Amino acid sequence: MPFRSFLAATFACVLPTLAVMEKCLCAPPQQEDSRPDFRQLLEKIAPFSPDPCDGFQDSSDLESDAFQRAAEIVTEGLNEAAAPGSPLERATVALKKLGRMSAEINAAWPEDNRFSFEVLDLPPVLVVKMGLRTHETFFAFGRPKEKGGNESQAWHSSSSIEGIVERTAFRSWVALYPLHRGPSQHARFLASVSSMGCAGFTTGITYGAYEWTPAGSGYLEPIIKQGGSFGLAPVSGFPQIGALRTEGSSITLPYCWFSPIDTWANSSLCAVDRYDISGDQVRFRSRTYNRPDLVPVAKAIEYAEQRDFYAVLSYCASSLIALTLVSEIPPSFFADDIRVTRTGTGKERVELGWEPKYRLDVEMRDGRWQVVAFSKQ
C-alpha cells in the first residue's frame, strides 16, 4: 500500500474516538454462516421425487451438502461438554433429531428415501453411514491423541467416499464392516460402496478399507482400495467366484470387471482378492480368477489397444506375437462373441468376433497361461 494511502487509512481510524479505532484496527466481526442449514437443505430437496431416475432429477449436490451439515451437527453434539451419555449415545441423539426432521419435511417420500443412519461403534472411533433419497455415504468421527497419549476433547469427522462414486451413479449404497485390528490396535473398517445408473445393467463396486490414525490431528488412512462391477446375472461360462469375508485376520474381496472379451453389458472376468490384515501393515496375498485361461487374452488386447508393447509382451510367449497384437488390435476392441475350443492338455483356441475374426491360441507354460499365437481373418 502506498505510504500516503496508509496514512489516510490510519487517520480515518484513530481520529474520531478510541472505540472507532478499536473497530477499525481489530479483527472484523465474524459473519454468520450463510450456508443453508440442514432443515433448509431438506426443504430444497423435498419437491424432488424420491427416486432421481424418475425424470432424471439430480440433487446430488444438495444431498452432499446435507450429509456434510449432518456430520457437522454430529460433531457439535460429540463436542458438547455438558451433554450426558457416551459418544455413541450423543451421536445417536443428534442423528435421530435429523431423522425426525426428514420424516416431517420429506413426509411425501417412502421411509427408505428419507434421512437414515447407521452407527458402527469402533472405540475410540464412530463410523456413521448416512442415507438420503437414493444415495448413501459415511463419515468417521474421532479425536486425536495428545502427546501424553490422552484423547483431546476436539472431535472431528473425516470421509473418503466423495469422488469414489461416479457422478453418473444415481443410486449408491454403503455397507460397513469392522476389521481385525493390528498390533497397534488402531480402529479399522471396510466400506463396500455399490453404485448404479438409471439403466441398471450393472452395479459398480468399490471396496475401501480404512484405519483411524489418532496421531497428530487424527485422520483416516486408506489401507485397501479395489474397484470392479457386478452384472445383473453371471455370464455363461464365466461364474462369479468367491465371497465377501471380513472376519478374522484374512479377508477376501470378490469383484468382476469389464474387459475386451465381454460379449454384452455384463462383465465376464471375475476375481477374488485375499489380504492379510494381521499386522500393522496390510499385505496383499493372492488373486484368484474365474477364467485364468482367458485373462492373458483380455490383458494382451487391453494393452495392445494402448500400444504398450512391453505390457503386452508379459502375457505373450514371444515378442513377435506381442508386436503383431500391438500393430493389429483396433482401439476400443469388443469381442461381441467368444468361442473357446480345447486343443490339447493345457491348450485352447480362443476366437473373438465374426468379421473380422480374431484368433488367439493360449497354452499353460511355466505354470501360467500365455498367448502363443495370434491371427486375424
Q: Work out the pLDDT band at 302, boundaries 50, 70, 90.
A: very high
* Phi and psi, residue 178, nearest 5°: -70, 150
The amino acid occupying position 296 is: P
Contact 119, 91 (CB under 8 A): yes
Helix (H) or strand (E) holding 130: strand 125-132
Is the confidence at residue 15, as pLDDT, over 80?
no
Q: Which residue has the higher pLDDT, 245 or 229?
A: 245
Predicted local confidence at residue 255, as pLDDT: 96
Percent of the chain whose pLDDT exceeds 90: 68
Helix (H) or strand (E) holding 313: helix 309-313
For residue 150, give the C-alpha cell.
Answer: 490422552
Q: pLDDT by residue (tens digit) across 241-285?
A: 999 999 999 999 999 999 999 988 789 999 999 999 999 999 999
Task: In whole angstroms, give the CA distance from residue 50 to residue 131.
Answer: 12
Dihedral, 321, 326, 327, 328 alpha carbons, nearest 10: 90
Q: Which residue has the higher pLDDT, 68 or 149?
A: 68
DSSP one-letter code for 282: -
Is the confidence at residue 86, as pLDDT, over 70?
yes
Is the confidence at residue 71, as pLDDT, over 80?
yes
Contact 158, 128 (CB under 8 A): no
Contact 191, 162 (CB under 8 A): no
DSSP one-letter code for 238: B
Domain boundaries in the chain?
38-233, 295-376
Q: How far is CA 119 from CA 96, 101, 138, 217, 326, in A?
A: 11, 18, 9, 22, 51
Predicted local confidence at residue 154, as pLDDT: 87
Cell 473418503, residue located: 160
Q: pLDDT by residue (tens digit) across 319-330?
A: 999 999 999 999
Predicted local confidence at residue 160, as pLDDT: 65
DSSP one-letter code for 109: S
Contact 122, 220 (CB under 8 A): no
Predicted local confidence at residue 146, as pLDDT: 66
Neighbours of 151 (CB within 10 A): 14
First-to-final CA distance of the chain: 76
Q: Work out the pLDDT band at 197, boundaries 50, 70, 90.
A: confident
Q: What is the pTM for the complete model shown? A: 0.85
